[in-house]
Amino acid sequence: MATGAILGKYLGLSALVPAEFIIDIEHVGDPNWGPDCCIYKVPKRLSKVKEEAYTPKLISIGPVHHNNDQLKDMQKVKQRYFKAFFSGTSKGQKDFACIIEKNKDKICNCYAPEISPRNENENFVKMVLLDSIFIIELFMRCDRKEEENDYILSKPCLKEGIMQDLILLENQLPFFILDKLYQHYTSNPTFLELACNYFFSSKEIRFEKEVKHFTDLRRNFFLPPEQKLGNPIVHRHSATKLDMAGLIFQNKEGEEKNRYLLHVDIQKGNKLLEIFPCFNCSWLLHCLPCLKKIPFLESMQTRLVIPHFVVDNKTEDLFRNLMALGQCHYPDKAYICNYILLLDFLINSKDDVELLVEEGIIVHSLGSNKAVAEMVNKLGQEIVEEKSYYHDVAEDLNKYYRNWWNKNMESLKTVYFRDIWRGTATVVGIIVLLVTVMNFLRPFVFRHI
């Protein structure tokens, strides 16, 4: 008897529910998220915000976009690089293919279940071999500085486009298989040094952690020292509001000159510093800029020190993919997401960007401060933050802003010192008031002398 009929009879509903309406579910196992999994399909909630940021525009690497017809033109370029590579070595293709075949299961385990190429068989080995040799040959040509005669490296637009595609989360091969294939060819320099030279123009960069793929390589470049993370940040005060309350924003280069620092640093990997209590007369320096020349007063300001954040037309796509990796693979250590969300709270409008640009914190080439504000605000959309590297920083900012003295100074500056003319008028008014009071009191004060 069918399962539905048995169920209906048991429940006494056989006359009410036809057997064909009963859902007969076969055994469905949970997705196999193994410890090696590190390459993902970008979640729809993120990709729907800006799908093109996660999609390669010139070249496909790996299985996810392998069948994208719009990227077929670069297959011939891959093949030319492939042929050039093997024309320069006595080792045959079969030797490299055997390495891929031996590591096939480990390679497949690096991909999330929904994009795993486990069933590709022979085509899988050919795809990995072609893509891997293309990358190795490209990196070696870059290391040898063969830009002048190279099809990709001699064209800045194509060179930048390929580099951008190679850091996309969905466009990856596991780093370990690239390293194994390269070691079979040579070991000097290391493949990691080649990759750093290609992406960062430097072989001197060192990473303490294992690199999983090129997106992870770029993430490692920004990593700060590990420390205990706090709760998600709750912060509602923009840069201009904090500025009005007397907080001094300063770029990293001027850090060593100051004692009182509230330090945010992810791009250089420096540890956060605490905010030190100090007499705060930032409001006075805002009102009377000439006093900033006095070293004693300058050194007594509470500061937020932030490294340069360079923004160009490639920044958004880079950070979107780094944040997607953080959401998928490093939910408890999503440092890039933490940094962008803090920046999102500081930037609410073009005025906030203008302030940070004036202080040398943001350097951009997007054409307008409004474009930067919109980019930062959109980057924070659909990002889930469970823990934050900047929890303590946000709490210090909130406490600073809630301080009654700082809030009163913000109101004073807004009403009486909004600009140099109003500030001058206020100072002149105070002087006139004091002179008037002194003249009024003079007969009484000097009468008994």
With cut-offs at 50, 70 and 90, classify the pLDDT of residue 321.
Answer: very high
Span 143-193, pLDDT tens digits: 999 888 899 999 999 999 999 999 999 999 999 999 999 999 998 899 999
Give the C-alpha separation, 157 to 164, whole Å: 11
Closest-CA residue to 103 (of 115, 87, 117): 117
Give the C-alpha separation, 369 to 180, whole Å: 46
With cut-offs at 50, 70 and 90, classify the pLDDT of residue 350.
Answer: very high
pLDDT for residue 265 is more than 60: no
Span 371-423, pLDDT tens digits: 999 999 999 999 999 898 888 888 888 888 887 666 666 556 655 565 666 66
Cβ neighbours for 47, distance < 8 A, ≥ 6 positions apart: 54
Q: Looking at the DSSP assignment, which residues form a beta bridge with residue 311?
A: 364
pLDDT at 61: 97
pLDDT at 429: 76
With cut-offs at 50, 70 and 90, classify the pLDDT of residue 136.
Answer: very high
With cut-offs at 50, 70 and 90, classify the pLDDT of residue 317.
Answer: very high
With cut-offs at 50, 70 and 90, classify the pLDDT of residue 105.
Answer: very high
297 or 197: which carries more pLDDT confidence? 197
What is the pTM for the complete model shown? 0.82
Please answer whether residues 197 and 141 qualify as being in contact, where contact means their C-beta atoms are separated by less than 8 angstroms. Answer: no
Please answer whether residues 306 and 249 qualify as being in contact, where contact means their C-beta atoms are separated by less than 8 angstroms. Answer: yes
Give the C-alpha separation, 49 to 330, whole Å: 21
Span 49-86, pLDDT tens digits: 999 999 999 999 999 999 899 999 999 999 999 999 99
DSSP assignment string, 277-337: P----HHHHHH-GGGGG-HHHHTT--EEEE--EEE-TTHHHHHHHHHHHHHHH-TT--HHH
Is omega for the bond preceding 35 within 30 degrees of 0, making it cis? no
Query: What percent of the chain is modeled with pLDDT above 70?
Result: 76
pLDDT for residue 271 is more than 50: no
Cβ neighbours for 430, distance < 8 A, ≥ 6 positions apart: none
246 or 406: which carries more pLDDT confidence? 246
> What tokens does 52 get?
């093109």
Average pLDDT across the chain, whole number: 82
pLDDT for residue 214 is more than 50: yes
Give the three-state DSSP class for 257.
helix
Q: Which residue has the tokens 């950070």?
A: 319
Query: What percent of the chain is modeled with pLDDT above 90?
Result: 49
pLDDT for residue 40 is more than 90: yes
With cut-offs at 50, 70 and 90, classify the pLDDT of residue 207.
Answer: confident
pLDDT for residue 260 is more than 50: no
pLDDT at 272: 31
pLDDT for residue 282 is more than 80: no
With cut-offs at 50, 70 and 90, classify the pLDDT of residue 21.
Answer: low
Q: Mean pLDDT, to the nearest integer, of 83-97?
A: 94
Give the C-alpha separation, 165 to 160, whole Å: 9
